[in-house]
Amino acid sequence: MSVLRAAAQKIPGLAPGIFFFALMLDAAAGSALDLAVDLFGEGQWAAARTESLRARAEASGPEVDRARLLADVSALRMGSGREEAKSGLLALWRSESTDLEIRCMAAYEWGRADGADGGTNAPSALEFAYLQTRDTPLFWRAGCSLYFCLKADRKLHREKPVVWQSLQSCRDAWPPEVWRECTPSKKGVSMAALPGQWVVAFYRAQIGPAIGSRCDLLPSCSEYFLQASRAHGLLGVPLMADRFVREPSVVSARERPVTMPDGRIRYADPVSDHDFWMKGKGK
């Protein structure tokens, strides 16, 4: 299981919209899905999902399946309704009456999601997409994803010698951008940002609940420190000290008030106002 999980972590991310543009290009001009596709391409997941659902209600024929696919993938990207979206994609993948390219796309997206959740069926979904699709970008990405999956799992690798051999011979054809997308990313919190995170986690768990919300600035001081340490590592410490010193002046100046949902007024003081001059921040 742990091997599978490790393999799953290596399943690549997908640049938004890349496939869908290709997939939707053959949709009739003036399709009800045009707007949803545009929104998806722009990374506006929630709006794309709403538009897809609207288009699904109005569409007929194969357009319904496209709308379902887009709605489910948007939901996956949003991170909400994940299980529902996954079961929708699984149903699309398994439905033999659905257009094959849509099934391949659904299999690919389901495989990624299942792999990320530590499921065991990601390789079979990716293999389906890899072997069945006629869409070149999907072929590359499904192949590359499957390659990393099999590479991380020796048992699976031995069970599928033909596929492995095929991937080995195809890999030279994958363009650099596919490799870039598919190479396991090592995004994480930098070591320098870790102490800041610990301090904020301790404050939020042990001190914050006892003293309540006392900060009059937006973002709150703990959030400011978190953002500053993420952006600048240990330099977050003097940024935070400077903010503590400035806080009364910012509040008394009453510039840029923001009304919070609970009606309380806070004053905007984002990190970007205090690091705009650092290298690479300002223009």
Q: Which is nearer to other proteins, 6 or 53 (CB)?
A: 53
Residue 263 gets which letter from DSSP?
S
> Pick from 240, 266, 267, 269: which binds other proteins (CB under 8 A)?
240
> Pick from 207, 241, 258, 260: which binds other proteins (CB under 8 A)?
241
Residue count of the chain: 283
How far is the C-alpha of 109 from the C-alpha of 9, rounded, in Å?
14
Interface size with other proteins, residues (CB under 8 A): 27
Q: Does 249 bind other proteins (CB under 8 A)?
A: yes
CB of 129 to other proteins, least distance (A): 30
Structure-token match 């319904």, residue found: 64
Q: Does 206 bind other proteins (CB under 8 A)?
A: no
Q: Does 256 bind other proteins (CB under 8 A)?
A: no
Stretch that binds other proteins, among 91-99, 118-126, 205-213, 271-279 (CB under 8 A): 271-279
Q: Does 235 bind other proteins (CB under 8 A)?
A: yes
Residue 265 gets which letter from DSSP?
E
Q: Does 34 bind other proteins (CB under 8 A)?
A: yes
Q: Is the peptide bond before 195 cis (omega within 30 degrees of 0)?
A: no
How far is the C-alpha of 130 from the C-alpha of 144, rounded, in Å?
9
Q: Which is nearer to other proteins, 154 or 281 (CB)?
A: 281
Q: Which is nearer to other proteins, 115 or 196 (CB)?
A: 196
> Taking phi first (over 0 means left), then psi (-120 to 50 degrees means alpha), and beta for anything else, what does residue 233 get?
left
Q: Which is nearer to other proteins, 51 or 153 (CB)?
A: 51
How far is the C-alpha of 163 from the C-alpha of 245, rounded, in Å?
63
Stretch that binds other proteins, among 6-14, 139-147, 171-179, 231-239 (CB under 8 A): 231-239
CB of 32 to other proteins, least distance (A): 9
Q: Coil, strand or helix: which one is 81?
A: coil
Residues 36 to 55: which contact other proteins by CB under 8 A?
38-39, 42, 44, 47, 51
Q: Which is nearer to other proteins, 72 or 269 (CB)?
A: 269
Residue 267 gets which letter from DSSP?
E
Stretch that binds other proteins, among 66-74, 142-150, 175-183, 230-238 (CB under 8 A): 230-238
Q: Which is nearer to other proteins, 6 or 15 (CB)?
A: 15
Residue 259 gets which letter from DSSP?
E
Residues 46 to 105: which contact other proteins by CB under 8 A?
47, 51
Q: List, edge to edge, every strand of the sheet that includes 265-268.
A: 217-218, 265-268, 257-259
Give alpha helix (H) positions in the chain. 2-9, 18-24, 34-41, 45-58, 62-78, 82-94, 100-116, 122-132, 136-152, 154-159, 161-170, 176-182, 194-202, 208-211, 221-232, 236-253, 272-275
Which positions lie near other proteins, rule CB under 8 A?
30, 34-35, 38-39, 42, 44, 47, 51, 235, 237-242, 244-246, 248-249, 273-274, 276-277, 282-283
